[in-house]
Chains A and B, each alone.
Chain A
């Protein structure tokens, strides 16, 4: 297995008035192709910051990110934008669907942005995959929260990106909808070799991943290989590590 995404001594400082906050402190991290990694940690541990830097949404104070061996540092805004457009799929907590577009149009949006003409079969296939084959022409306000998040997942997958970054994808959903979203992400990883990084607060969600990386005060403090953990006790194991961190 080769590292598709790699963080090298990644640091990020925020200046809030006269106070400097170290959100990340020299994080080294890598993810292999086809891996599903969850990032957990208490509030303010730096997990969202790490996700933003990995996705090229923000610039590190020091260190670098490599996607397929290509360094982010030195890239122009347009170059980073092209990376996000073609090689990374994003799933947001608040879905961020365009309210004026139908479900199908929202799914096809990244292709349209890339100047490509979306193939209707491809879009329909994705909608069918997420179980919304009959919601093709529905606008976001006609869909439930869980359905909207599934549309967002289809949108993230439509360009067949190297990596999908999900920021609290179940944070805004009820447990049933959340489980459906997690199942989808798991299937994308298992059936389509999709690489996924997910930031979450939810122990159960994290337990769906192959590996859970724990952050505290801007540093990686623990890593759990979920494949070596008994399926029945996965959630409890994650919860136990988190409980230790929050002490």
Chain B
């Protein structure tokens, strides 16, 4: 060993299982992040066959990017908790050793650097293996999603992109090192005198009343506030996002603060349910080393909370946000006529390039001839104008004839302005109808001018209205069509007159699609079903990815139980020596883990529901101009999430018990005398 950093390698090597668990956590975080991008790229490759189509549809698919990124970060954070806990416990166990090194002349800075070097080594190994394994995980996930998606989605070949790999690697390194900072500082502060003290197993520790009270106050106040005066009713972009993040952070902090008290409460309840010595030991043991026990339970709860929060948020945003923007059209029995057989799933676009999707002049004329006398129609051009895209800068916008759009009464719902204000602007030149988030992004209001990207250079457009467009898209008037696009419309929205005979109308549509087999009629109601099915697929896929966060949490339980058992070897030896059978010991250990799992499951379930309510009531939908009854939306979003959460409540104790059983086996095989430490 030539430098103190050699100690880092020696320490990792000496505690291989602990190191392995930490590396696995980094691998999970990194590989999930990269695998998520592989899935999205695979969808891109499968669905988007031409560059033009790619440009047009990129916005839709890129909606998945933040979701996948979020999952990667969530898994890595769960891994971060594990690493924090692992190092925290390791420092506690190595206190005497570190004290010895301090006594021998190691400075606080040197101790800290050795610990950080250990973390950096783990992170580098985890990142490298995570990158290598991400390809396999990505392909497994794509195969899994293929199975559940059927014809709904199409997939192509995809490989991880360099920026994503770099991002995942930097994230893995950063979160690992950040997670170890506090334990490393603790290690640096170990006094040389600790070298002279014998390490002791943690006893039953008290609870900080003020922390519990603060946490309870935080949770109650937060919930009371968002229920009594939902910020979602007034908050606008970009404060909606910031405020939601802040409230989620406070909520998590509150959960963390009350968690030790909840574990104690569960222990007290458990004591009543499990009378006798074993029950007493189980309930006492979960109250020892509160810091690490709480963090382990928090990791479990966090994994479940993210599952519930994401499931519910997607339901809320896509169905109550994007979906509700289609309500006016749905209520008027609107339909659209397009070349894409969307009712058979997005996969129907596989065989199509852009030319195959766009309506020909002949088809367009035939559609108009067929329905003109019985319905309002508006031909919709899909364009990508970054400045008016509501999500990122690649989401599509509609280019429409404003008069026809007004006639349908389906394409835009105003929150500021109206058609009387908008129409003259849109007919005279470039007028845009945008969602509030777009207007706020430009710091512009009704009647203000913004510069957008045209085919031949910048184009000045006036904000003619602010509100909610179908599918969240903005609308740009077709008076500047030549300056924006040279493509044909992709669909015609058809809204039957109130007095149109539905039977005759349907017969005319049937005749149209018989004459032009390339055309398909899509009822908005049917499209909503497709949207919900798509959402289900996305949800299942995301949840499958998030299950990996639960794995990270399970590693945490393995690690905590392993540390705890190592520390309590002497106690176990004593219990065995005084006649406790292996079965009783096994029950003791598994019951402890199960109790932690139950608390983690229940807390994760309740905290997940809470976080979802906070998201819905705080984020609202003002940024996309949708006015919703937030309570109704919250309740409806909670339902599917609650099912997921309930599964978690059942599964968490099972995962925890299994995680405890693995390290318990080794100890239970030992003879009682082997567990009693001999004098060194």
Contact A58 B193 (CB under 8 A): yes
A29 is an interface residue with CB less than 8 A from chain B: no
B interface, over-half SS: helix
Bits for B100-115, please: 1 = Cβ < 8 Å to A, else 0. 1111111111100000
B569 to chain A, nearest CB (A): 15
B504 is an interface residue with CB less than 8 A from chain A: no
B10 is an interface residue with CB less than 8 A from chain A: yes
Q: With A94-B198, A95-B680, A172-B679 as given contacts, are A86 and B1 in contact (CB-CB < 8 Å)?
A: no
Alpha-carbon distance A172/B110, docked complex (angstroms): 30
B443 is an interface residue with CB less than 8 A from chain A: no
Q: Which of B11, B13, B96, B680 has the most CB of A within 10 A?
A: B680
B198 to chain A, nearest CB (A): 7
Residues of B within 8 A of A155 (CB): 104
Q: With A52-B193, A78-B108 as given contacts, are A101 and B1 in contact (CB-CB < 8 Å)?
A: yes
A99 is an interface residue with CB less than 8 A from chain B: yes
Task: Specify which of A52, A96, A108, A145 is in contact with B100 (CB 8 Å cutoff).
Answer: A96
| A-contacting residues, B185-200, CB 8 Å | 191-193, 195-196, 198
A214 is an interface residue with CB less than 8 A from chain B: no
| A-contacting residues, B3-54, CB 8 Å | 3-4, 6-7, 10-11, 13-14
Bits for A46-84, please: 1 = Cβ < 8 Å to B, else 0. 001000100111100000000000000000011001101
| B-contacting residues, A82-132, CB 8 Å | 82, 84-86, 90, 92-96, 98-101, 105, 108-110, 112-115, 117
Contact B680 A81 (CB under 8 A): no
Q: With A96-B100, A105-B1, A115-B3 as given contacts, are A172 and B680 in contact (CB-CB < 8 Å)?
A: yes
B109 to chain A, nearest CB (A): 8
Residues of B within 8 A of A101 (CB): 1, 10
A219 is an interface residue with CB less than 8 A from chain B: no
Contact A112 B6 (CB under 8 A): yes
Residues of A within 8 A of B669 (CB): none
Q: With A105-B1, A112-B2, A172-B680 as given contacts, are A100 and B11 in contact (CB-CB < 8 Å)?
A: yes
Q: With A100-B11, A117-B2 as given contacts, are A81 and B195 in contact (CB-CB < 8 Å)?
A: no
A139 to chain B, nearest CB (A): 10
Contact A84 B196 (CB under 8 A): no
B97 is an interface residue with CB less than 8 A from chain A: yes
| A-contacting residues, B650-680, CB 8 Å | 679-680
Task: Specify which of A56, A96, A112, A145 is in contact with B195 (CB 8 Å cutoff).
Answer: A96
Closest A residue to B12 by beta carbon equals A100
Contact B198 A85 (CB under 8 A): no
Task: Specify which of A48, A81, A105, A172 is in contact with B105 (CB 8 Å cutoff).
Answer: A81
Contact A99 B14 (CB under 8 A): yes
Task: Specify which of B4, B14, B193 is in contact with A113 (CB 8 Å cutoff).
Answer: B4
Closest B residue to A98 by beta carbon equals B97
A210 is an interface residue with CB less than 8 A from chain B: no
How many residues of B sit at the interface, in one of the four size bands?
A: 20 to 34
A138 to chain B, nearest CB (A): 15
Alpha-carbon distance A68/B1, docked complex (angstroms): 32
A194 is an interface residue with CB less than 8 A from chain B: no
Alpha-carbon distance A98/B6, docked complex (angstroms): 12
Alpha-carbon distance A82/B109, docked complex (angstroms): 12
Closest A residue to B192 by beta carbon equals A57
Closest B residue to A49 by beta carbon equals B193
Bits for A143-170, please: 1 = Cβ < 8 Å to B, else 0. 0010010000001000000000001000
Contact A85 B104 (CB under 8 A): yes
Contact B107 A78 (CB under 8 A): yes
Task: Specify which of B6, B13, B101, B105 is in contact with A82 (CB 8 Å cutoff).
Answer: B105
A84 to chain B, nearest CB (A): 5
Residues of A within 8 A of B680 (CB): 94-95, 145, 148, 172
Q: How many residues of A contact B (CB 8 A)?
A: 37
Contact B105 A57 (CB under 8 A): no
Q: With A57-B192, A92-B196, A100-B10 as given contacts, are A84 and B103 in contact (CB-CB < 8 Å)?
A: yes
Q: With A57-B193, A117-B2 as given contacts, are A81 and B102 in contact (CB-CB < 8 Å)?
A: yes
Residues of A within 8 A of B104 (CB): 84-85, 90, 109-110, 113, 155
Contact B1 A92 (CB under 8 A): no
Alpha-carbon distance A133/B438, docked complex (angstroms): 78
Contact B103 A55 (CB under 8 A): yes
Contact A113 B103 (CB under 8 A): no
Residues of A within 8 A of B14 (CB): 99-100
Residues of B within 8 A of A98 (CB): 7, 10, 97, 100-101
A241 to chain B, nearest CB (A): 25
Closest B residue to A77 by beta carbon equals B108
Q: With A100-B10, A112-B2, A172-B679 as given contacts, are A92 and B106 in contact (CB-CB < 8 Å)?
A: no
Alpha-carbon distance A115/B198, docked complex (angstroms): 29
Contact A96 B6 (CB under 8 A): no
Closest B residue to A48 by beta carbon equals B196
| B-contacting residues, A164-188, CB 8 Å | 167, 172
Bits for B285-311, please: 1 = Cβ < 8 Å to A, else 0. 000000000000000000000000000
Contact B105 A84 (CB under 8 A): yes
Alpha-carbon distance A112/B9, docked complex (angstroms): 15
Closest B residue to A93 by beta carbon equals B196
Contact B10 A92 (CB under 8 A): no
Contact A92 B100 (CB under 8 A): yes
Closest A residue to B197 by beta carbon equals A94
Contact B101 A113 (CB under 8 A): yes
A74 to chain B, nearest CB (A): 18
Alpha-carbon distance A109/B103, docked complex (angstroms): 12
Alpha-carbon distance A96/B241, docked complex (angstroms): 53
Residues of B within 8 A of A148 (CB): 680
Bits for B401-442, please: 1 = Cβ < 8 Å to A, else 0. 000000000000000000000000000000000000000000
| A-contacting residues, B256-287, CB 8 Å | none
Residues of A within 8 A of B105 (CB): 81-82, 84-86, 110, 113-114
Contact A167 B196 (CB under 8 A): yes
Task: Specify which of A81, A105, A108 is in contact with B107 (CB 8 Å cutoff).
Answer: A81
A129 to chain B, nearest CB (A): 19
Q: Which of A81, A117, A145 has the most CB of B within 10 A?
A: A81
Contact A100 B13 (CB under 8 A): yes
Residues of A within 8 A of B101 (CB): 98, 109, 113
Contact A96 B102 (CB under 8 A): no
Q: With A57-B193, A113-B110 as given contacts, are A90 and B679 in contact (CB-CB < 8 Å)?
A: no
Q: Which of A109, A117, A145 has the most CB of B within 10 A?
A: A109
Residues of A within 8 A of B97 (CB): 96, 98
Residues of A within 8 A of B198 (CB): 94
A137 to chain B, nearest CB (A): 12
Q: Which of B101, B105, B193, B195 has the most CB of A within 10 A?
A: B105
Alpha-carbon distance A117/B680, docked complex (angstroms): 30
> 11 A–B contact pairs at CB < 8 A?
A48-B196, A52-B193, A77-B108, A92-B100, A93-B196, A96-B96, A98-B10, A113-B4, A113-B106, A117-B2, A145-B680
Query: Which 5 A-B pairs rank lowest in CB-CB distance, beginning with the nearest?
Result: A85-B105, A96-B100, A100-B10, A100-B14, A57-B192
With A85-B105, A113-B106 known, 8 other A-B pairs at CB within 8 A are A55-B103, A81-B102, A82-B107, A90-B195, A94-B96, A96-B96, A96-B195, A108-B1
Residues in chain B within 8 A of chain A (CB atoms): 1-4, 6-7, 10-11, 13-14, 96-97, 100-110, 191-193, 195-196, 198, 679-680
